[in-house]
Amino acid sequence: MKEMMFSLDDIKRIMEIDEIIDKGLGNNSISQEDIEVLLNEGREKYMEILEKENY
């Protein structure tokens, strides 16, 4: 069985980003620019996880 190289904190941060975007969209308090910044952060974290898993 392959050992996971990402941490629970990595997953938690991705979930937090998703929640921030959902709440902002729900009450119309988030700008398109903020969404893009958060999505980019989420993508970067996701790519870090994928890179760790490939080693």
pLDDT tens, per residue, the chain with 55 residues:
556 667 888 889 889 999 999 999 999 999 999 999 999 999 998 898 888 877 6
Helices 8-26 and 32-53, packing angle to 10 deg: 160
pLDDT at residue 3, rounded to an integer: 63
Contacts within 8 Å (CB) and 24+ apart, 38-46 = 41/13, 41/17, 42/14, 42/17, 42/18, 45/10, 45/13, 45/14, 45/17, 46/14
